Amino acid sequence: MATNLLRSKLRAGAALLLALGAAHAGAAGPQGAIERFLRQAAEGLPGRVQIQLAARATADWPACAEPQPFLPAGARAWGRVSVGVRCAAPVPWTRYASAYVAVMAPYQVAARSIAPGELLGEDAAATREGDLAALPAGVVSDPAELAGKVAVNRIAAGAPLRRELLRGALVIRQNQDVRVVVHGPGFVAGIEGKALSDAAVGATVQVRARNGKVLSGVVREDGAVERAH
């Protein structure tokens, strides 16, 4: 009789511990799992990652032994995000929590007003630090990217320098005489011709050779066009 009573108490105690463990996992588990998931998802981003998640964002969620966070298809892991959490046990469920992932990093702004078509010199840009997630897409972070670039439109002083506002400086003009350098197995040849369009460094341009054949190649900084055989 006493043995049976002891066994009943032990079973009741074990059940209570399991319930308390599940409740703890439900209250604290998803929160920590979401933060770890977002930090891992943000690895490799150019800057210091800061995650903002309400302290009690998951407080009213059901208990979960192993919460599995995920991002909806196509969602990026920075800025304002909605993070899903799936649970298989003790009861299957799926919930979503809102979070904000800031990426604090240097970026480039116009140090002064920049005119359309102006070649960006050393005095044209300045470095600022801020949340890349809150800035327009395509903001230039590395000042080395600005070398040889010109403004497509007028850029106001203090405005972030975005890649779509810039283009490479034109080094070839349409109908200009150019040299096409052809590389092949064990040889390098030069072919003279005329460019069929304007082109900047790194762009692909077509050249009509003197024999009438049209060749394509990539524009080099010296104005030559390089073509792989």
The secondary structure element, H or E, covering residue 151 is: strand 149-151
**Which of these ranges, 12-16, 71-75, 165-169, has the smallest mean pLDDT?**
12-16
Q: Find where tokens 């497509």 sit.
A: 152
C-alpha span between 36 and 77 (Å, rounded): 12
Residue 229 has what pLDDT?
A: 59
Q: Quick one: average pLDDT of 69-98?
A: 94
Burial class for 58, CB neighbours closer than 10 Å (0-12, 13-18, 19+)? buried
pLDDT greater than 80 at residue 168: yes
Cα distances (Å, whole numbers) of residue 27 to 23, 30, 45, 51, 74? 6, 7, 30, 19, 28
**Best CA proximity match to 121, nearest among 101, 147, 139:** 147
- Sketch out the chain's domains with CATH numbers: 2-103 (no CATH), 105-168 (3.90.1210.10), 170-228 (2.30.30.760)
Which of 49 and 6 is assigned the larger pLDDT? 49
